[in-house]
Amino acid sequence: MFKFSTFPPRYSDFCQAFSDKTLQKARAILHKGDLELIELSRHTIMGNVMGSEGKYYTMSVESNGRFSCTCPAEVQPCKHVAALLLVVEGYDDGDQEPELSLEDHVANLDLSTAQELLLELAEIPKVRRLLMKYFRHAEPVVKRYTALDRLQEAVRAEQNIELLGSLGEEAFAELSALPPEKRAGWAWDMVLRLKTYEPDWETYDAYSEAGDAHWEDRVGDWTEILLTHWAEAQVELGQTEKALEQLEDFFENNAAAFGGLLHLAAQLPNGRAWITKRVQGSYREDEYMKAIIKRMGTPEEFEALLRQNLSSPYNHHELVEFLVEQNRLPEALDHAETSVREHVRRHQIQHLDPHLQAMLELLHHHRPAFEWEKALFFYQQNLDAYRALARWPEFTEERDALLKKVWNISAKLDMLQWDQDLAGLKALLKSHPNPEHAVRLKHLLPLEVKTLLKRHIEKSLEETSSRSIYQAAALWAREYQDLEAPEIFKPWLLALLDRYRKRPALQDEFKSLKARLQEQG
């Protein structure tokens, strides 16, 4: 151990601990520039150096006199520790900020950076074991953060907000419970962050299906929610007119501000006239006027506006929802019936429209009929919808025609199995010889399934030579083995492997199956 009068130490404090030869070697290390100073703080000095064998060594010296080096030298302190002390003794930091300690760096870490660092360190087996031991016996650190903190940090760190829909919902629920002053401050701060937000392009995957909204759409949606929260808080604080001026400027370049602007305008005696004039000439004028009339007009005025434009399922559904809100359910159901029938007559329900489906589900609950069950069945194409349809007397007569219109083969397989229609299942396998579908029927139709699997394996190997095809063929061969008699399967497999003996990748994928045969004798 060293004894230091000051730390970092002066040359006079440590020179006597090293021989002249060691100090000479240490100066040679500094001359080559191989030493990197990692930490210089009030309690610790740490550095890396490239050794003579091409390996990096790490050395450290602490204020209590302890030192260490990862080099294999038998005599310690070694030349690397001497070089570390020499570089610090000559280190001029007069024009620089004091170096932070490790503890300081940790205190300054944001959540996302800390998580990334932990995952990187966890690649070291010893560190991974320590982390797993900690997390088994301690509360995860992330639980100390509120959803508001986590969302703010995610945006600041340019995380992909396409994946953060549920976190946003949780954060906005917390936001609504804050006092108005804090709510306004937090909301406006986030609006400004989102205004300049872009995801980290190095990690962003434009083709990812994990997200439930494009990041630009999410920025707009979140900005609108935040500005509405901000406007509500300003009203509670009695600053409506001042907030209106501030938000009007923001609205010039951001349509997401309209919700907050509308809330503020609704507090003013002449608010409707003011905001109507404000949106005139906008490319979204019709959309804005609908929101203005819904918020500030009479129900009769809003209904008349809705009935002026019934060009799509969205418009019809909007009117139906309004009638339900006005406690006019019979009228809502009448309009839903007319709208659904007309759309089915024209388009035969070729694709899923969420607004049409919503009206169908309303009819399903309040006016159940075979007509609506059938329409829902074509939308959903699953076994539950098929079972619901089968309860109706009309089903028996229309069953075959209904099944012909089912394009989802997996769902159709479920329906035929539920009906125990063996003839229908055989016909389906014949028209769609897919091994994934076939193995689901191996207990019902073992002969047909094993024939299909055998043909599929042979055909796929004849047509294509790739590792993925070999892997799939080996998988189906195992399924075929479970169905076929051993005296038939074994010669077939051996002949197959002999035929493709010049394909090492194929032999590799089938080796476990071959070993299984040998075990069985």
What's the one-letter identity of residue 89?
Answer: E
Residue 123 domain-assigned? no
Sign of the CA dihedral with 169 first, then 171, 172, and 174 last: positive
For residue 110, give the nearest of 153, 51, 68 by alpha carbon. 153
Lowest mean pLDDT among 172-186, 205-219, 237-251, 252-266: 205-219
What is the pLDDT, as a whole number, of residue 349? 57
For residue 468, give the nearest of 437, 496, 509, 498 by alpha carbon. 509
For residue 194, give the nearest of 175, 212, 233, 168 by alpha carbon. 168
DSSP for 334-393? HHHHHHHHHHHHHH-S-S--HHHHHHHHHHHHHS--HHHHHHHHHHH-SHHHHHHHHTST
Each residue of 338-351: pLDDT tens digit?
Answer: 999 888 777 665 56
Last residue in a domain, options 225, 256, 287: 256
State how far the Cα of 77 lies from the Cα of 69, in Å rounded to an integer: 8
Last residue in a domain, options 256, 278, 294: 256
Residues 426 and 499 in one domain: yes
What is the pLDDT, as a whole number, of residue 136? 63
Residue 413 domain-assigned? no
Give the CB-side neighbour count of residue 490, counting CA atoms within 13 A: 10
Using pLDDT thresholds of 50, 70 and 90, give the confidence band for residue 210: low
Residues 249 and 156 in one domain: yes
The rounded Cα 389 to chain-centroid distance in angstroms is 36
State how far the Cα of 395 lies from the Cα of 374, in Å rounded to an integer: 9
Residue 4 domain-assigned? no
Residues 21 and 81 in one domain: yes
Residue 512 domain-assigned? yes
Task: Check: CB of residue 15 under 8 Å from CB of residue 85.
Answer: no
What's the one-letter identity of residue 269?
Answer: P
Residues 72 and 172 in one domain: no
Last residue in a domain, options 222, 256, 290: 256
Residues 86 and 163 in one domain: no
**CA-based R_g, the chain, Å:** 36
Range of the domain at 220: 147-256
Q: pTM of the full predicted structure?
A: 0.52
Strand arrangement of the beta sheet that strand 35-40 belongs to: 35-40, 44-50, 56-62, 67-69
For the cut 80, the answer to whether the pLDDT of residue 145 exceeds it is no
Each residue of 271-317: pLDDT tens digit?
Answer: 889 889 888 888 888 888 998 998 898 999 999 999 998 988 999 99
Averaged pLDDT, 95-124: 66
Q: Which residues contact 272 (CB under 8 A, 6 or more apart)?
A: 265, 292, 296, 297
Task: Check: CB of residue 261 under 8 Å from CB of residue 247.
Answer: yes
Residues 163 and 77 in one domain: no
State how far the Cα of 380 lies from the Cα of 368, in Å rounded to an integer: 17
Lowest mean pLDDT among 185-189, 216-220, 303-307: 216-220
Lowest mean pLDDT among 87-91, 146-150, 259-263, 355-359: 87-91
Q: Which residues contact 448 (CB under 8 A, 6 or more apart)?
A: 426, 429, 438, 441
Averaged pLDDT, 421-429: 92
Which tokens sit at 41? 């703080």
Residues 151 and 91 in one domain: no
| Residue carrying structure tokens 């002969």 | 447
Bigger pLDDT: 98 vs 3:
3
Each residue of 376-412: pLDDT tens digit?
Answer: 888 888 899 899 889 999 999 999 988 988 888 899 9
Residues 151 and 54 in one domain: no
DSSP for 260-277? HHHHHHTTSTTHHHHHHH
Residue 308 domain-assigned? no
How many domains are there within the chain? 3
Task: Check: CB of residue 145 under 8 Å from CB of residue 111.
Answer: yes
Task: Check: CB of residue 457 under 8 Å from CB of residue 439.
Answer: no
Residue 438 domain-assigned? yes
Residues 164 and 88 in one domain: no
Residue 218 domain-assigned? yes
Residue 36 domain-assigned? yes
